[in-house]
A = this chain, B = another copy of it.
Amino acid sequence: MSFSSTPSPSSIRTNPILSLLRKQSSSSNAVPRDIRDVPYLHQSRTSIESSTTKPLTFQETIGFSTLPDQIHRKTLKRGFEFTLMVVGEHGLGKSTFINTLFMTELYADRPPSARLHPPKTVEIETRTVELEEKGVKLRLTVVDTPGFGDGMNSSECWKPILDFIDQQFLKYFQAETSFGIERKYVQDQRVHCCLYFLPPSIRGLRPIDRDFLHHLQHKVNIIPVIAKTDTLLKSELTALKKQLLSDIDKYGVQLYDFPEGDSEQAEDSHTLDKVLRESIPFAIMGSNTTLESNGRKVRARTYPWGVVDVEDPKYSDLPHLREMLCK
């Protein structure tokens, strides 16, 4: 079977799982406030609007008003699936960042030898964790790619990653087109989003970055992040972001783009989208150490010359990235 018959990545892009997750999550601890919050009903809503709306009285109740509740209950029971891929050289703090992002210890059991010596070729390592927040379950799978860019020859290190993503598409397609019980409980293990870690020491896209972005841009939603930005001054960070955006434009790289909010969306949501869009590439930093500050716990890095709160929006885009991924 040729791969071209599997769900095309562009369909993922136009119907982004990220935006789906975002809408579903907002309806997590209450009955959906708006029919828009239930994506499956979006289509029928448009057709209702084009005709005259007639509110039914209590006696006339058919029952479809409970549909949002039903779907809400179903999603609560099933939970959500989210597969996040992290790509970048050894030592950029990928694991630490994932721990910081999801406030968990996903890599606590990793042997110290794996920390010290990356593999010579790219490997794919997946880890799944079940997270729960106010009764809503999220099955988070993090796909790590140790060995990326760490060998002497990096000319084809995008290849194992591309193969993995293609395999996931194929698996999903096979499950979706099969008969029987499998079809009902299709586990979505496609990679929904790829965080591409750029070192803070670069001054523009390197050949390895261009190569990766070029080969993967149409397969997965890529979000570039600049790692360990606590090593950059504000002016240096601004210059680097500007240069990266210019390079992304110059080399025609297609990154994940937010779906355009419709005109009915609240004004503050538009503003937020704009702020998020302007934060790309996200400047991030991570920490495994928790400090107590003003009565709340913060993840921070304690230098001799000061303490860096890795979630402080004054110099970290981590809150924005979290907002974009999860809300």
Contacts and interface: CB of A to CB of B under 8 A. Distances in A.
Nearest to A208: B152
A199 interface: yes
Interface string A148-160: 0011111100000
Main secondary structure of the interface of A (DSSP, over half): loop
A68 B319 CA distance: 68
Contact count band on A: 35 or more
Interface stretch (A27-35, A214-222, A299-307): A299-307
Contacts of A153: 152-155
Interface string A110-127: 000001110010000000
A165 interface: no
A89, A234, A305, most chain B CB atoms within 10 A: A305
A281 to B, nearest CB: 16
Contacts of A199: 91, 199, 201
24 contacts: A89-B201, A90-B201, A91-B199, A91-B201, A91-B202, A115-B203, A116-B243, A117-B203, A150-B206, A152-B154, A152-B208, A152-B211, A153-B153, A154-B154, A200-B231, A201-B228, A228-B231, A231-B231, A233-B303, A303-B306, A303-B308, A304-B314, A305-B315, A306-B306
